[in-house]
Chains A and B, each alone.
Chain A
């Protein structure tokens, strides 16, 4: 199947201090991995498209090093790219490119919005599934297992279609040296774009409300347990 994966460069949220290190969105990495696994042993491409600043090239190279075929880099600098704007830009990109399956991460690690995928599907008029934890090709049908509220739903989607992927789907491969070298020679089609006006705007970023400092109990297990149960009952009133 012809795949295209929409990827994003995000700040590394794992870092305990703000290092400014940028990484490939973990959910997108799972999407790339899954497409590569499905297409293994075939000549079908796994292409990439990224919207972001010029410095996001390193993230594209990383996904190419995993084994993706070609990439388009739509360069947009600065703030003001909300999900609405991203979906509009991606929809314009896909007008000129036909794929069997478009994959995105289920959300980005930095904003956790989780909107761009289904917005894009709607703009392109494609059937879609979100929060996928498993994918399988069956002829020209894509079988998707998605994590729902109360269990897993198994869906059959006619291609062309769009799926947003969870990181519970797989563990993305770490590119090997051979892949990294090959990625340097792969083509990145770079174009500047002007995003449409966003519909939402971040005005300030605040610290989340702190928690009251707690009590740490150490020592004999039996003493800790007795003290905990006493406090849960008399102090916290939660039993």
Chain B
């Protein structure tokens, strides 16, 4: 029997929502094709999370309980994923398009002799072909792309599918793995976390994003306040990442992250294609910009024409009242 293998990314001891989104869709496809659904979990806590994978449809959960996977390093991850893909010999491998996955996807495809459809917005099985739609040209176009290669890897943009629970057997299978760190050629010296990342951007239901119009620390304080009132993660345009006002992990867009929250505030952001490539699929977009012709207004569900330094204090006060009454 054919199968779909889902690589599950783990962060802060949990399976990332984007991984469960991709797996939920993979489960739908697997059931329709009469294929099995398998999941992969790597790291010292891998077995503890197998139950979650089973609750989202996994028939089998392939685990490698090795602490080498607890912080991201591409060489051991490649070796681990190679072992798992070879053990499962699936038709299709599905992963969320996280930075860790992007780091290894191409190399893994060479190693496993696979074709890759990266960063897709949707995918399906059509007979012998795996077909996807993926944003190109800074998301100004959507390219329908396909592969009939016997093994295909697909990475999925966050927010492309809903998470759906579905009971699978969730049988845990330990995959043998040995790794010689001396052969690596690279070492991880340090991980630098940016302070104040309280809510994970790609998982957040509400995102408050700041652009050049936010200008300085006093503007940032207003943005921080709006985020804390609404329980939002903080995003940023490239302009304010470049000036150092916001950390690079907050960057949304072609270079940065892809987000699709229920509510997106674009504060002092013009709406360049390279920015909107990362946020155009948000459900409700609120734009605050003093230029009535800013392109961000073309996407905005609600556009407010005005100075964010005037609007934000009023908006924060008003939202605080509404939230307090809940």
Contact = CB atoms under 8 A, between A and B. Distances in A.
Partners in one complex: yes
Interface of A: 11, 13-14, 83-84, 87, 106, 109-119, 121-123, 126-131, 133, 143, 145-158, 161, 166-168, 199-208, 211-212, 214-218, 221-222, 224-226, 228-229, 231-233, 236, 238-239
A236 B133 contact: no
A224 B117 CA distance: 44
B186 A216 contact: no
B99 to A, nearest CB: 4
A232 B74 CA distance: 43
A20 to B, nearest CB: 13
Given A14-B273, A200-B115, A229-B319, A131 B72 contact: no
A215 to B, nearest CB: 6
A206 B146 CA distance: 14
Contact of A207 (B142, B307, B322): B142
B321 to A, nearest CB: 9
Contact of B248 (A112, A168, A214, A231): A168
Contacts of B43: none
Given A216-B292, A229-B322, 4 more contacts: A112-B135, A112-B138, A156-B187, A232-B286
Q: Which of B110, B280, B299 has the most CB of A within 10 A?
A: B110
Nearest to A152: B192
A122 B137 contact: no
B36 interface: no
Given A211-B280, A226-B318, A161 B186 contact: yes
B254 interface: yes
Given A118-B107, A202-B145, A212 B255 contact: no
B174 interface: no
Contacts of B292: 216, 218
- Tell me the interface secondary structure of chain B in the complex: mixed
Contact of B186 (A110, A158, A236): A158
A-B complex: 9 closest residue pairs judged by Cβ atoms: A127-B185, A199-B115, A115-B106, A118-B106, A122-B107, A151-B193, A119-B106, A122-B110, A118-B107
B188 A202 contact: no
Contacts of B238: 168
A14 B197 CA distance: 30
Q: Which of B78, B100, B206, B254 has the most CB of A within 10 A?
A: B254
A118 B284 contact: no
Nearest to A211: B299
Contacts of A153: 71-72, 188, 190-192
B99 A161 contact: no
A135 to B, nearest CB: 14
Contact of B284 (A133, A216, A232): A232
8 contacts: A118-B105, A145-B192, A152-B249, A155-B186, A200-B145, A221-B311, A224-B306, A225-B304
B143 interface: yes
B300 interface: yes
A130 B104 CA distance: 9
B315 interface: yes
B189 A228 contact: no
A146 to B, nearest CB: 8
Interface of A is mostly: mixed
B2 interface: no
Contacts of B230: 239
Contacts of B140: 13, 208
Contacts of A217: 302-305
A83 B116 contact: yes
A114 B138 CA distance: 13
A207 B106 contact: no
B193 to A, nearest CB: 4
Contacts of B305: 216-218, 224
B87 interface: no
A155 to B, nearest CB: 5
B273 to A, nearest CB: 6
Contact of B136 (A111, A119, A225, A231): A111
Contacts of A113: 116, 118-119
Contact of B117 (A154, A158, A200): A200
B254 A112 contact: yes
A8 B214 CA distance: 35
Contacts of A117: 106
A83 to B, nearest CB: 7
A198 to B, nearest CB: 9
B115 A215 contact: no
From B11, B117, B280, B302, residue with most partner A Cβ within 10 Å: B302
A206 B299 contact: no
Contacts of B285: 211, 214
A239 B74 CA distance: 40
Nearest to A215: B302
Contacts of B251: 168
A208 B193 contact: no
Contacts of A151: 191-194, 197, 249
Interface string B83-109: 000000000000000111011111111
A123 to B, nearest CB: 6
Contact of A166 (B144, B188, B255): B255
